[in-house]
Amino acid sequence: MARFVQYTEFGGPEVLRLAEGPVPTADAGEVVVETRAIGVNPIDVKLRSGKRPSGPITAPRVPGSDAAGVIVELGPGVEGWQVGDEVVVSAPGGTYATHVAVPVDSLTRKPSALGWAQAAGIGIPAGTAYQALRSLGVESGMTVLIHAASGAVGQAAVQFARELGARVIGTAGPANHDRVRQLGAIPVTYGEGLVERVRAISPAGVDRALDGAGTDEAIEASLELTGDPQHVATIVRGADAPKWGIQAYKGGSPLPLTAEQEELRAEGVRLAAERAASGTFDVEIGRTLRLDDAAAAQRMLEDGTAPRGKIILLP
């Protein structure tokens, strides 16, 4: 039997229920993965609460997009994969489970040296960060401002931007400045006077800005510091990005990612997995909980009590 977390109505974390059912089977082009670790992301909370529109619930929904595990079944027509392969999963949904059927294009090979928790924490943060930076045209010699630099996407973005040769300024609370600095960025505190603090570091402003905070302050400061809305991107305020004239990479944007952007996300996951296995990319794990504690995990994200770093569920 498989175990999974599901919800049948929008609401608080209490709508999440642990259930049991048959192990899923793989359709054509799919594999079944027995999970070893599952990543918890803010989008999981937004979809469950209904804050991010996802249509009416007509059948139980299993949250989650990120996981790592072992292939236990191949569907018809699947080539290049074998039962027993260790994989990172970046799926459209349903990963809060002991077993999940996913299309093969959701898979990245997990290096043997990469731990399960770190592998499960890579998907959305690394894929989003890499795609956003590449789509913004970040390159060597630029100065890049990353908002919410101590968050999971922010930490990945700092590391990728540094690898691309950029100087990075990252906003974060004072308690997280050491972490931002450790990753290679110059930390600044968000809040009143942000523009002046950034200009004290980079008098000419910044070349690109990535918003992972979702505040008006972050977007307004980015616009002032770059001088060009097309050099600013958000991964949080997609729904009203057109009002600002900035780029939006999901975050509630009605426009889907392009095929090229989807490919960049997959590349980012692969690169992060390889780098993390070799010790040159850090995936910070803040807390591990059992699958049974999925509601508690989401509650911590929702009420702001989550530790810095990824929350990981262990099936």
Structure confidence by residue, pLDDT tens digits, 255-280: 999 999 999 999 999 999 999 999 99
Contact between residue 206 and residue 224 where contact means Cβ atoms under 8 Å apart: no
pLDDT of residue 109: 98
pLDDT of residue 221: 98
User: CA nearest 286: which of 70, 120, 112, 138?
Assistant: 120
As a whole number of angstroms, the distance between CA 236 and CA 129 comes to: 12
Query: Residue 153 — very low, low, confident or very high, per pLDDT cuts 50/70/90?
Result: very high
Where in the chain is CATH 3.90.180.10? 2-121+283-314
Query: Residue 87 — very low, low, confident or very high, per pLDDT cuts 50/70/90?
Result: very high
pLDDT of residue 288: 98
Query: Residue 76 — very low, low, confident or very high, per pLDDT cuts 50/70/90?
Result: very high
Q: Token pair for residue 252? A: 């509630």
As a whole number of angstroms, the distance between CA 99 and CA 109 comes to: 17
Query: Residue 148 — very low, low, confident or very high, per pLDDT cuts 50/70/90?
Result: very high
DSSP 291: G
CATH architecture of 2-121+283-314: Alpha-Beta Complex (3.90)
Mean pLDDT of all residues belonging to the chain? 97
* C-alpha dihedral sign at 192, 307, 97, 65: positive
CB neighbour class for 159 (10 Å; exposed up to 12, middle 13-18, buried from 19) = buried
pLDDT of residue 267: 98
- Superfamily of structural domain 125-248: NAD(P)-binding Rossmann-like Domain (3.40.50.720)
Instruction: Read off the pLDDT of each residue in 296-307 and give the average, rounded to a whole number.
Output: 95
Specify the length of the chain in residues. Answer: 315
Each residue of 173-224: pLDDT tens digit? 999 999 999 999 999 999 999 999 999 999 999 999 999 999 999 999 999 9
pLDDT of residue 189: 98
Phi-psi region of 279 (alpha: psi -120 to 50; beta: other; left: phi over 0): left
Query: Residue 122 — very low, low, confident or very high, per pLDDT cuts 50/70/90?
Result: very high
Instruction: Read off the pLDDT of each residue in 56-80 and give the average, rounded to a whole number.
Output: 97
Q: Token pair for residue 130? A: 């890499």
Query: Residue 299 — very low, low, confident or very high, per pLDDT cuts 50/70/90?
Result: very high
Where in the chain is CATH 3.40.50.720? 125-248
Q: Token pair for residue 195? A: 């523009």
